[in-house]
Structure 1
Amino acid sequence: MATTYFSKRNLHFLLHEVFKAEELTQYEYFSAHDRETFNLVLDSATYIADTLMHPYLKEVDKNQPELKDGQVTVHPKVKEFMQAMGDAGLIGAGFSFEHGGQQLPEMISSCVGFILMAANNGMMYTGLSSGAAHLITSFGSPELSEFYVPNMLSGKWQGTMALTEPQAGSSLSDVTTSATPLTDGESVPGSYKIKGQKVFISAGDHDAVDNVVHLMLARIDGAPKGTKGISLFVVPKYRPDGNNGFVDNDVQSTGVYHKMGQKGVPAMHLTMGSNDNTIGYIVGEPHQGLPYMFQMMNEARIGVGMTAAAIATAAYHAAVQYARERPQSRRLNEKNLLDAPQTPIINHPDVRRMLLFQKAVTEGSLSVLIEAARLYDISKVAEGDDKDNAFLLLDLLMPVAKTYPSEMGVQSVSQSLQTFGGYGFTEDFPVEQLYRDIRITPIYEGTTGIQAQDLLGRKMTMKGGKAPQLLFAEMGKTIAEASMFDDLKPYAEQLNGEMKRIQEVFSALLPHAMKGDTERYLADATLFLELFGIVVVAWQWLKQAIVAKHALLTQNPQGDDLTFYEGKLHTMKFFFHYEVPKTLGLAVRLKDPEVLTIVSEKELAL
């Protein structure tokens, strides 16, 4: 098993050299921090990852959660991990001081998640607690925050997002879980009787914590139909009994799904109200559940993207190590030298292509995600146009930040497995597990098709197209900066051409939307997202190349630093020469008037 599962050098390069994370400390909210505190947090996460997570990667996968007699058991290391994360203050690191957090930027908090998920994504528990607790502190009453959040951030209690239902899937407008107001004098204000079912609830029940707190969508009796009638509730596994104790809240674990990957995290089927005794406590105002969820969705989607980038990164590092150590055959130009020793497979051009593809995808994905996290932070603490523009840019980039690492991460891990050859298909090495694990990420927090419809159907046109205008302006700055270096200028010009290609494709599609033919407009939205994502990642690679080139010219780096910066330039070139040309075929299809996927009166058999 590879001992290296992420590059600390690359993480610091992106955080400090490319995105200058410490510049956020100029804002009052983040002023308690500096570069040193940021690095200490990352070191703390790395220690937990090294000691409590990575050594148990295979063990957690092989000993998946089991449901017996209504109780879910998980690997015993999960409890130690939860406690260590709570003790280190890492579950609530991004929370305000007021709510027991460290007021760390999302740039740093999301990188903590990256480190942990690269070590062992089968222990994906604390991010769920953080997200659920954040919903309570953002929209819930002070009483809810005071009672639930401290235990969630300490690792004693688990938090979940309980959205999906058997009959609804991703269509939240079809949620049927009901909430009936309790009006008797003894009930806590805002109490409701909850009845219904939820499925695929990650970490929805387990024995590593004392309580599980579900942030659950339900429909209050008589609420409007569709998404406008959905409310948000805190529904704990054990509720307070009013005498400093707890009683069972009639949230039953009906089943645990046995999954293709991420086997260390129980995905639960939950049933509420079988005995008419499930009580939930409303978060915020009635019928605002979905807006509340969507206000938190950017953070959650960054988390999914980080998980995908982390898994792909761990697989890439395993593949690099194997390729350096595995001798096989001779160089193609030395085939006749049978007495010559075999060469490590890293010297074969096709293996180098596979490794460069993985490096380009994983480091490009991480760059996009840190860019998104930076925009999230600025949209939170800045004022005026800076705040508004950061939020618009973040909104536009979010489908890419979630989808590119997920979809391309699947391909990247596939190439990692291919690098191992037959050994990659065995349990002797970690990549077969990582290949299974990463496949869920294009589905989490909105499938690729949903992300694509969000990008083309809403983000490209909102506020008169202001978001893509802002993005192209940012790209224009990078292009201008890169054009100052002779060997980067061709890539700057290529990126400029790709920006124009996006605009041409969008102009060809927009008339369908203007005519009200939404189905035709969005028929190939996923291909548009793929095209858009390639160009956004190309922009990120050019940003990295500028920093690397500047360092080579001004710092006279030696040894590992020289190799690192030269590697950045080489990988940028690989991305532009191997990945960017894929936009040509995508653009041809997107502008093609032939329609082949829309249901017609004369339906062809599939």
Structure 2
Amino acid sequence: MSQLRSTLEFLVYDWLQAENLTSRDRYADHSRETFDAVMDTCERIAREKYAPFNRTVDTQEPTFDGEKVSQPQCTHDARKAFADSGMLSAAQPYEKGGMQLPYVVEAAANSFFGCASISIGSNLLTVGNANLLRVHGTPMQQQVFADNEFNGRWAGTMALSEPQAGSSLSDILTRAEPDGADFDSDALGARYRLKGNKMWISSGDHELTENIVHLVLAKIPGPDGKLIAGVKGISLFIVPKKLVDTDGNLTGERNDVALAGLNHKLGWRGTTNTLLNFGEGKYPVRGGAGAIGYLVGKPHEGLKCMFHMMNEARIGIGMAATMLGLAGYYASLEYAKNRPQGRPTTEGGKDAASAQVAIIEHTDVKRMLLAQKAYCEGALALNMYCARLVDEGRTGAAEEAVRSKLLLEVLTPIAKSWPSENCLEANSLAIQIHGGYGYTRDFPVEQYWRDNRLNMIHEGTHGIQAADLLGRKVRMQDGAGLQLLAQTMQATIKKAAARPELAQYAHDLNQALQDVSAATQAAWLTGNPQEALANAVPYMQAFGHTVLAWVWLDVACKVLEQDASQALAANAGRINAISYFYRYELPKITAWLNVVNARDMTCAQMPVEAF
């Protein structure tokens, strides 16, 4: 993990200047030394408790005997080590038992776990669940549920999808009705009884913690007893696996949340993925029928509350995709350096009597390695930049905080979608470099690809992210977010244009930015959403490539600012990566934007029967 560590240090300290955050009151107790100590701890735990067992959890999937989920001991050990490290509450204030770390440092430290074994579990949902309750929960809900998630006693989930309603949340059928039974725990919030089914719930049942806190979307029936159509009828509820009192103690009574079965997926096999039945009567709760749930926020504002967790999870999935891409890159780089095959081509052809060379000497292998580097290190830079925006939003001056939050809104679909597509391609290239061996389980790259393939679907498919970007994010506040992103890019373009080595790239990025802006206008020229969104995915691909070109150019500016003696090889690698991206990748946006500009309806108007 030494290469990951050096890359993170360059991005966090040199490029993003994270040490400057210690001048702010919230982070005043910290220093480079404390930041490094956190990364040291996480790197060590990842190396000792995660990496050696990545294959174990892939081959020894969770099992369910009808009552209890079983997982290998290494999963329990890894989860305990993570919780004991305090990383669950790393960004929480001291008075809540946290380290009060900047989010950019927390994200960097957590990246070691994703690189070592995403399948063991990232604890992403537990932290996101608790963070949501910090914002939208009552003081008692925060104390009982969020605090016990942050301290590691309990785990958390998000329960949105249903068997008949995956991404279409307006079609959920889980219902919640007010509960008039006499309980001692009314202080936990307005109490409801839930009935319904939830599908694809990651970490929905396990024995890793003493309790699991489900955040469940459900609809409250209207006066006529019918569910309100659309997303306006959705509310959000805390539904614990085991019932608790106001002191956070288990009451000894099981809530009516039943595991109906485990989903066995292509990747992330070490993480339980579940079908949960709420209120089916397997574990009847005294006083009535249905699972006990406590309302979070106001009735019918559940989706608004849940987006707090969904947006956090989307950025987390982008980070997971990035780390899987980097894991594959590091593995294929090592393989390419040590695998002898073939001989160099000279003017006289190949000399069969000469010694074989390592395959990294071959141009096409260099191409595939350079593509992986450009994709994955670029995605990591984007992830870290977004993490820095979170810190600005939390602790920056008022105007800067507002700008940072708006910029993060626009970038979130890209932070999720771009790594999940392009770092998956990096994993495919890692298999290609291994040749036939890459298909086998003797090498890790096939697992990295399988694990990463899930991330294009996790937390909203490509199509959903694209519709969010073109349909909402670039248009919100009369395009203020897009204008802010353009201004931020222009600052980098101006800086790079002053350097002869980067002037051409600055020109190319400026042209790409103009092309994306023009395509945004062209897509909505008729005001017809069907025409505008017909090519939302190509639009997002072009937008994402433009964003990554900007990130790489900004990184290159920092590289050239440094003393030539600093990390010469690493910086040369970064400069070559930007060359690759601008020459091989950025030109792709022309084809993507052509169909956007034309509002091409080839796909939209394809008759169903013609398939």
TM-score tier by shorter-chain length is: over 0.9
Residue in 1 that maps onto 2:163:
166
Structure 1 counterpart SS, 2:236: strand
Answer yes or no: is 1:557 the counterpart of 2:565.
Answer: yes
Residue in 2 that maps onto 1:406:
420
* C-alpha contact 1:241 1:247 (8 A) present in aligned 2: no
For residue 454 of structure 1, report the CA deviation from its aligned partner. Answer: 0.6
Q: Tell me how far apart the structure 2 counterparts of residues 10 and 484 of structure 1 sit (CA, whole Å).
A: 26
Residues 104-113 or 192-201, more deviating: 104-113
* C-alpha contact 1:395 1:459 (8 A) present in aligned 2: yes
* C-alpha contact 1:234 1:282 (8 A) present in aligned 2: yes
For residue 167 of structure 1, report the CA deviation from its aligned partner. Answer: 1.2
Residue in 2 that maps onto 1:545:
556
Q: Tell me how far apart the structure 1 counterparts of residues 457 and 507 of structure 2 sit (CA, whole Å).
A: 35
Residue in 1 that maps onto 2:286:
none
Q: Tell me how far apart the structure 2 counterparts of residues 594 and 245 of structure 1 sit (CA, whole Å).
A: 60
Answer yes or no: is 1:260 the counterpart of 2:256.
Answer: no
1:458-483 Cα offsets, whole Å, 9 max, x none, are 11111111111111111111111112
Answer yes or no: is 1:11 the counterpart of 2:8.
Answer: yes
Q: Which amino acid aligns with 1:284?
A: G
Q: Tell me how far apart the structure 1 counterparts of residues 2 and 209 of structure 2 sit (CA, whole Å).
A: 28
1:1-45 Cα offsets, whole Å, 9 max, x none, are xxx485111111000111111222333223332222222111111
Residue in 2 that maps onto 1:343:
357
For residue 529 of structure 1, report the CA deviation from its aligned partner. Answer: 0.3
Q: Indicate which of 240, 246, 251 corresponds to 2:244.
A: 240
Sort the Cα spacing of 1:30 and 1:175 in 2 relative to 1 into closer, same or farther, 3 A. farther
Answer yes or no: is 1:289 the counterpart of 2:294.
Answer: no
* C-alpha contact 1:126 1:155 (8 A) present in aligned 2: no
Q: Which amino acid aligns with 2:551?
A: Q
* C-alpha contact 2:43 2:112 (8 A) present in aligned 1: yes
Q: Which amino acid aligns with 1:272?
A: F
Higher relative contact order (CA closer than 8 Å, sequence separation 6+) = 1
**Unaligned residue ranges in structure 1 (runs of 5+):** none
Answer yes or no: is 1:590 the counterpart of 2:603.
Answer: no
Structure 2 counterpart SS, 1:336: coil
Q: Which amino acid aligns with 1:531?
A: A
* C-alpha contact 1:94 1:104 (8 A) present in aligned 2: yes
Q: Tell me how far apart the structure 2 counterparts of residues 277 and 231 of structure 1 sit (CA, whole Å).
A: 16
Q: Which amino acid aligns with 2:291?
A: T
Q: Tell me how far apart the structure 2 counterparts of residues 418 and 603 of structure 1 sit (CA, whole Å).
A: 36
Residue in 2 that maps onto 1:490:
504
Q: Tell me how far apart the structure 2 counterparts of residues 99 and 201 of structure 1 sit (CA, whole Å).
A: 28
1:501-529 Cα offsets, whole Å, 9 max, x none, are 1122122212132xxx2111100000000
Q: Tell me how far apart the structure 1 counterparts of residues 572 and 255 of structure 2 sit (CA, whole Å).
A: 59
1:229-275 Cα offsets, whole Å, 9 max, x none, are 21111111111268863211121100100110110001000001111
Residues 360-369 or 217-226, more deviating: 217-226
For residue 592 of structure 1, report the CA deviation from its aligned partner. Answer: 3.0
Structure 1 counterpart SS, 2:95: helix
Pairs within 5 Å for 1:337-416: 337-416=351-430
Residue in 2 that maps onto 1:576:
582
**Unaligned residue ranges in structure 2 (runs of 5+):** 282-288
Q: Indicate which of 594, 602, 610 corresponds to 1:605.
A: 610
* C-alpha contact 1:324 1:346 (8 A) present in aligned 2: yes
Structure 2 counterpart SS, 1:164: coil
Residue in 1 that maps onto 2:344:
331
Pairs within 5 Å for 1:73-472: 73-186=70-183, 188-189=185-186, 190-222=190-222, 224-240=228-244, 245-275=251-281, 276-333=289-346, 335-472=349-486
Q: Tell me how far apart the structure 1 counterparts of residues 608 and 432 of structure 2 sit (CA, whole Å).
A: 39
* C-alpha contact 1:83 1:156 (8 A) present in aligned 2: no
* C-alpha contact 1:125 1:158 (8 A) present in aligned 2: no
Q: Tell me how far apart the structure 1 counterparts of residues 122 and 362 of structure 2 sit (CA, whole Å).
A: 40
Counting aligned pairs with the same residue, the percent is: 38
Alpha-carbon RMSD: 1.7
Q: Tell me how far apart the structure 1 counterparts of residues 352 and 19 of structure 2 sit (CA, whole Å).
A: 56
Residue in 1 that maps onto 2:284:
none
Structure 2 counterpart SS, 1:523: helix
* C-alpha contact 1:216 1:234 (8 A) present in aligned 2: yes
Structure 2 counterpart SS, 1:160: strand
Residue in 1 that maps onto 2:38:
41
Q: Tell me how far apart the structure 2 counterparts of residues 199 and 5 of structure 1 sit (CA, whole Å).
A: 39
1:336-361 Cα offsets, whole Å, 9 max, x none, are 31111001000100000000000000
For residue 604 of structure 1, report the CA deviation from its aligned partner. Answer: 4.8
Structure 1 counterpart SS, 2:454: coil
Q: Indicate which of 523, 541, 545 corresponds to 1:530.
A: 541
Aligned residues: 594
For residue 180 of structure 1, report the CA deviation from its aligned partner. Answer: 1.3
Q: Tell me how far apart the structure 1 counterparts of residues 476 and 39 of structure 2 sit (CA, whole Å).
A: 37
Structure 2 counterpart SS, 1:225: coil
* C-alpha contact 1:67 1:255 (8 A) present in aligned 2: yes
Residue in 2 that maps onto 1:71:
68
Structure 2 counterpart SS, 1:260: coil
Structure 1 counterpart SS, 2:456: coil
Q: Tell me how far apart the structure 2 counterparts of residues 526 and 104 of structure 1 sit (CA, whole Å).
A: 36
For residue 385 of structure 1, report the CA deviation from its aligned partner. Answer: 2.2
Pairs within 5 Å for 1:512-523: 512-513=526-527, 517-523=528-534
Structure 2 counterpart SS, 1:168: coil
Sort the Cα spacing of 1:583 and 1:125 in 2 relative to 1 into closer, same or farther, 3 A. closer
Structure 1 counterpart SS, 2:356: coil
Q: Which amino acid aligns with 1:219?
A: K
* C-alpha contact 2:344 2:350 (8 A) present in aligned 1: no
Residue in 1 that maps onto 2:23:
26
Q: Tell me how far apart the structure 2 counterparts of residues 442 and 270 of structure 1 sit (CA, whole Å).
A: 23
1:264-298 Cα offsets, whole Å, 9 max, x none, are 00100000111134111112222221111112333
Q: Tell me how far apart the structure 1 counterparts of residues 72 and 85 of structure 2 sit (CA, whole Å).
A: 21
Sort the Cα spacing of 1:5 and 1:200 in 2 relative to 1 into closer, same or farther, 3 A. farther
Structure 1 counterpart SS, 2:208: coil
Residue in 1 that maps onto 2:515:
501
* C-alpha contact 2:534 2:600 (8 A) present in aligned 1: no
* C-alpha contact 1:114 1:309 (8 A) present in aligned 2: no
For residue 150 of structure 1, report the CA deviation from its aligned partner. Answer: 3.2
Structure 1 counterpart SS, 2:574: helix
Q: Tell me how far apart the structure 1 counterparts of residues 23 and 172 of structure 2 sit (CA, whole Å).
A: 44
For residue 589 of structure 1, report the CA deviation from its aligned partner. Answer: 2.3
